[in-house]
Every structure is written in C-alpha cells, then in structure tokens.
C-alpha cells in the first residue's frame, strides 16, 4: 500500500512543495491542506501559530497520513519542536536555507527573505550562528509579501525595490524563506540578474522525504 503524504501551509505557498512532491513521487497520495481562514501566519505569535497549526496536523495524522511536510517556514522555525512532541508520525520541516547560501556566497553577503515570525525565531538565530559565521545576512522587509501574494497583488515595483536594496548591500545569494515567495521566484530572479543565485527548498524537501520514506519501508 502506497504511503500518504500530508503537506501543510498557512496559504497557497505550500502548493509549490506539494507539486514538487507529486512530480517526484507520482505513486504517492499527496494531501495538501492550508489555513485560508487565518493566513498569513508570519505576523502571529508562537502561541497563536501552535494553536492554529496543531489541530490541522493532528487531523492529517488521524486521517491516515504517514508523513507530514510542514511547508511553512514560520511554523517550522517557531513551533516544530512542540508539534513533534504532540504528534506520532514524522514531520519534515522547512526552514531558511542559510547553510547552502553561506556555502555558495562569494561576496560573503546573503539575503534571507522571510516572515517576521521566522526572522524572530530561535531556530533561525541558531541557523545563522551555526552556518553563517563570517557572513553578512541581509534581512529585507518582506512583512506583507505573503498576504499580498495570497491576494495576487504584490507589484513588480515592490519586488524590484526590495531586490535592489539586497543588491546594494552586496548579497549574491537570495534565500526564499517562505513558500509563498516561490510564486514570485522568477520575478525575483529577473530583478536580481545573472550574478545572483536565488535558492528555495523544493528539491531539498523531495530528497529529505525520500530518506524518510526509506526509513519507514
């Protein structure tokens, strides 16, 4: 019997992760759920994020999912420890790709585009401490991006202005630390130009899921 994979995000961002998983594992059943009533999560407190996300993940578990991909950097960086304690199936967490970005940069400057909750989380702070020693980390204000992307109203100028500030700071790697931003990846790449690398975790999550499924086999 094929495994069932749950994919959860606050909004539409996680659809890109669900699609990547379906493309990589066509034999799996992938169930995508989001929380349209409470999106975005990025400006909420840890307590609010945990209270909103736990019942949804618990239902995915109760409905027969074998693994859940938490396709929301905000939930993963703020509440994944507590969620893993409360649930009995593997949770695969997304978090900003600080480690690969720090390894890629030649200018020793990277930019992390993420929600306020992600940027304020202890997990994100730990990632910088562990992997970005000697690397300048630029954190542009993307506070309203998820909400605007959800409404399909994030303008090209706002994207271009943000990218310009990143380039002025000297960054040559941009980390998309929110799955909502995957929807505007091409716009960011276009604004950034060929000398800047834009990274996001879809394929890393596919590889991690493969490992987890092999462990469950």
> Which residue out of 65, 113, 142, 178 is catalytically annotated?
178
From first CA to last CA, the distance across the chain in angstroms is 11
The answer to whether residues 13 and 35 touch, using CB atoms and an 8 Å cutoff, is no
The answer to whether residues 66 and 96 touch, using CB atoms and an 8 Å cutoff, is no
Give burial (CB, 10 Å; 0-12/13-18/19+) of 144.
middle
CA angle (151, 65, 209) in 5-degree steps: 80
CA angle (164, 166, 168) in 5-degree steps: 70
Strand partners, 5: 30, 67
Strand partners, 7: 32, 69
Nearby residues of 81 by Cβ (< 8 Å), 6 or more positions away: none
65 catalytically annotated: no
142 catalytically annotated: no
Q: For residues 117 and 41, what is the distance between their CA atoms, to the nearest angstrom? A: 8
| Closest to 50 in 3D by CA, of 18, 14, 86 | 86
> Which residue out of 65, 72, 113, 142 is catalytically annotated?
72
Which positions are catalytic?
A: 72, 178
């Amino acid at each position: 019997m094929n495994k069932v994979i749950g994919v959860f995000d606050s909004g539409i961002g996680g659809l890109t992760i669900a699609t990547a998983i379906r493309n990589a594992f066509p034999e799996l059943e992938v169930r995508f759920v989001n929380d349209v009533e409470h999106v975005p999560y990025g400006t909420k407190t840890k307590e609010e994020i945990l209270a909103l996300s736990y019942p949804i993940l618990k239902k995915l578990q109760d409905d027969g999912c074998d693994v859940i991909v938490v396709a929301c950097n905000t939930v993963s960086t703020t509440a994944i420890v507590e969620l893993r304690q409360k649930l009995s199936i593997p949770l695969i967490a997304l978090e900003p790709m600080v480690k690969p970005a720090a390894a890629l940069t030649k200018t020793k400057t990277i930019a992390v585009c993420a929600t306020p909750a992600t940027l304020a989380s202890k997990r994100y702070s730990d990632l910088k401490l562990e992997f970005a020693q000697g690397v300048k980390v630029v954190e542009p204000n993307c506070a309203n991006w998820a909400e605007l992307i959800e409404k399909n109203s994030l303008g090209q100028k706002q994207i271009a202005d943000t990218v310009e500030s990143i380039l002025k700071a000297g960054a040559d790697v941009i980390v998309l630390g929110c799955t909502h931003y995957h929807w505007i990846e091409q716009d960011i790449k276009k604004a950034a130009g060929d000398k800047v690398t834009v990274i996001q975790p879809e394929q890393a999550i596919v590889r991690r899921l493969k490992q987890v499924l092999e462990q469950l086999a």
